[in-house]
Amino acid sequence: MPESKDKKGKAAQASNDEDAAKQKLTPKAAEALLENNPALKNELAGLDKDKAAEALRKMDISELLTGLAVGGKNQKDMASYKFWQTQPVPRFDEAAAAANDVGGPIKMIDPEKVSKTPDPLIEGFEWATLDLTKEEELQELWDLLTYHYVEDDNAMFRFRYSKSFLHWALMAPGWKKEWHVGVRATKSRKLVAAISGIPTELRVREQKIKVTEINFLCIHKKLRSKRLAPVLIKEITRRCYLEGIFQAIYTAGVVLPTPVSSCRYYHRPLDWLKLYEVGFSHLPKGSTKARQISKNHLPSVTSTPNLRPMEVKDIDAVHELLERYLKRFDLNQAFSREEIEHWLVHKGGEADREQVVWSYVAEDPETHKITDFFSFYNLESTIIQHPKHDCLRVAYLYYYATETAFTGDMKALKERLLMLMNDALILAKKARFDVFNALTLHDNPLFLEQLKFGAGDGQLHYYLYNYRTAPIPGGVNDKNLPDEKKMGGVGVVML
């Protein structure tokens, strides 16, 4: 259930006090929290004042004030605070799990007691299961997302998922048709809402669990007042339970009960002038356009020796390297070989499909061992009502790994990543991307600022459904800045 990748709203800032993580919210901080979370404010307004105040007082600054994204007028309906209180998720007002707590399920589910039929919808609407192998149903989902998914607060940009992207994102190994859930208007048969999930495995502090990755919760703008989000979430949960999957992972740009981690978005301009013209980037005071273009200039050739596009023959080597690399993080994805092939290898022969993912490997010329790899994917945004530009090509840093991570030499790792990621920027620029986005997860704090990534306003909060574990570092400190001491937490990239 991801919210906007980086909505351009203002973010509340954490306390500068080094002990902020141990503090509870002051009345002033609680007020700031509510102002930056309209949905939460609306829900608490309907509760008993004393209970609402008590819940707020118990919230940890470290959990909630590391940069809350403002929910704008086009904010997705992520279901209400009241709804989440009924779900098996950690509550705001309960004590966080101890740091040494390996974690586990919140609620044990008996599949025999799970309803075999969905809850009824409001009159005039009915449940549908989408068949994305059919071009017309894939087109329907594309239409819904293209015109009704996330926009920035100023309604300047809207995600434009290609059909190739949806095919890639929703038909991963093990995908289940039943987990592509839709709502149709009974009379017109029009698709007006959807939610989806794909199966995968996570490692949470070395505990391996089967989960559903929940994504693409989208409701037609005219139906946002119909409270469909809770119903959609309950329905996909029911369908997952019937398949024996009782946990899920999802992300949101808004604060819900209760993030297991929070990362911050960073942007590296590749075509600064275009970003400036469309209002994505601003001209810093005292600078000039020419100076900004020069500042963001990249070399035309890469620096990593023996770097080349990843091929099918590299799958096993990349799988082995990535598995070892990801196990260094508290929360990471346990990929199968089939998933590596699906997520990382672009099949060049598919002429009718747009390229979604770019992956590169560095191969030792003598041993032919893959020593490094990195990848990024394409998620374009429509530029709304601009006279010159209609599309923003955005590259998102995806998975990467390097043998240097296992040397124990942090300085060497930093130097290697600076070279690899600078090459990723060069290759993205050659592929005509306008901007390169990355979160503060993995080992990204080692290179973001040095490679001229600018801090975004958006925060991405990670959530686990029906699973409790101690808070996981998101690569940022109490001032919401990249911090090498806060790495080692999040190793999962959500689309």
Residue 166 has pLDDT above 70, yes or no: yes
- Least confidently predicted of 5-9, 146-150, 239-243, 258-262: 5-9
Token reading at 289 = 């356009």
Structure pTM? 0.85
Task: Work out the pLDDT band at 152, boundaries 50, 70, 90.
Answer: low
Average pLDDT, the chain: 85
Token reading at 234 = 């309950």
Q: Known catalytic residue: 495? A: yes
Average pLDDT on 211-231 reads 91
Residue 355 has pLDDT above 80, yes or no: yes
- Least confidently predicted of 107-116, 152-161, 355-364, 430-439: 152-161
Distance CA 305, CA 458 (A): 35
Does residue 395 contact residue 374 with C-beta atoms inside 8 Å?
A: no
- Give pLDDT, residue 389: 87
Q: Which residue has the higher pLDDT, 189 or 99?
A: 189
- Give pLDDT, residue 61: 39
Average pLDDT on 229-251 reads 96
Catalytic hit among 322, 326, 451, 495: 495
Residue 356 has pLDDT above 50, yes or no: yes
Distances from the Cα of 294 to the Cαs of 291, 322, 334, 465, in angstroms? Answer: 5, 35, 41, 46
Residue 318 has pLDDT above 60, yes or no: yes
Residue 21 has pLDDT above 90, yes or no: no
- Give pLDDT, residue 8: 30
Q: Which residue has the higher pLDDT, 131 or 47?
A: 131
- Give pLDDT, residue 74: 35
Task: Work out the pLDDT band at 401, boundaries 50, 70, 90.
Answer: very high
Domains of the chain: 79-249 (3.40.630.30), 261-491 (3.40.630.30)
